[in-house]
Amino acid sequence: MSSRASTLVRNVWPPAVFGVLFLALWEFVVKFFDLKPYFLAPPSKIWQKFTENFDLVWGAAKVSGTNALIGLLAGALFGMVMSLVLSRFRVLNDLITPLAIALNAIPIFVLVAVLNNMFAITSEVPRRIMVTLVVYFIVLVNVAKGLTQVSPTHVELMRSYAASDTQILRKVRIPNAVPYLFTALKIAAPASVITAFVSEYFGGSQNGLGSRIASNIANSKNAVAWAYVLGACLLGLVFYVISSVLEGVSTPGGRAKRSQEGR
């Protein structure tokens, strides 16, 4: 345990020092070249605005964060259910997986504009649907892979035990897909926050982090906009850390650990 703690310290201090130096350089450049606040605000000013406007940033973060969280949960749920259905019916899999990958490749953000027309102007639903869609595809593609790409030896063994397809699903395919699900969530968690921000650029209530950043920049309140950017970074980080911690807790036998030790 203590060796793990010391590893943590050893892994943390180089990027921490680098981060502090970077901020110092930023501050220095702004002061030294006397850059105008509308061009680039210094970190000290951003921090000051962040603390001054903390309640506003926090409120906006709650709006965007709630949208991201609801979308993340709904998307993960739909993605898991759909991948189970697809793994069960291979014909559907052949039909839908290419479509899912193709849809994932196009910038489906623009859909939110269409969705905004379908709901009330103050509704958060279009943004949540947007996040759900993005997360859904990430989870679907990964979990479907985990359910189908099982070791042939495992399947032969299960057949030699006279196991039914349902038993193979429960005892082999689903456990095999668990690490794939957490990989998907690790990608999907930051993506859900980004999607929630970007969705706010397409109209609707001006209450989230994304719309605050846009409106403050429009009003040349550069430092305040940066304060909201800081809030957005922190929110994304929180989502990422939670998904990483969940991964560590819920993979039995530490398969993640094994892959680290293997190296």
Partner 1 sequence: MSAIEINNVNKVFNAGSGNQVVALTDINLSIASGEFVSLIGPSGCGKSTLLRLIANLLEPTGGDIVVNGKSPKQARLDQDYGMAFQQSGLFEWRTVAKNIELPLELKGWDKAKRHERAMEMLELVKLADFAGHYPWQLSGGMQQRVAIARALAVHPALLLMDEPFGALDEMTREHMQSELLGICRASGTTVVFVTHSIPEAVYLSNRVVVMSPRPGRVTEIVDVSIEGERSDATRDNSAFFKGITAVREALRGVEMSDHVRGIEDR
Q: Of the two residues 3 and 153, which places its CB atom closer to partner 1 in the complex?
A: 153
Residue ranges binding partner 1 (CB under 8 A): 151, 153-154, 156-163, 167, 171-172, 175-176, 178, 251-255, 258, 262
**Residue 133: both structure tokens together:** 């869609």
Radius of gyration of the chain (CA): 23
CA 126, 127, 132 angle in degrees (round to 5)? 95
Min CB(257)–partner 1 separation in Å: 9
CA 140, 233, 229 angle in degrees (round to 5)? 125
Estimate to the nearest angstrom the gap between the alpha carbon of 46 and the chain centroid. Answer: 25
Min CB(173)–partner 1 separation in Å: 12
Q: Of the two residues 172 and 224, which places its CB atom closer to partner 1 in the complex?
A: 172
Q: Of the two residues 122 and 153, which places its CB atom closer to partner 1 in the complex?
A: 153
Q: Of the two residues 113 and 174, which places its CB atom closer to partner 1 in the complex?
A: 174
Q: Of the two residues 205 and 251, which places its CB atom closer to partner 1 in the complex?
A: 251
Min CB(162)–partner 1 separation in Å: 5
The dihedral over CA atoms of 202, 207, 209, 212, expressed in degrees to the nearest 10, equals 80
Min CB(244)–partner 1 separation in Å: 19
Min CB(27)–partner 1 separation in Å: 48
Residue 247, helix vs strand vs coil: helix
The dihedral over CA atoms of 123, 128, 131, 136, expressed in degrees to the nearest 10, equals -140
**Residue 131: both structure tokens together:** 């996040």
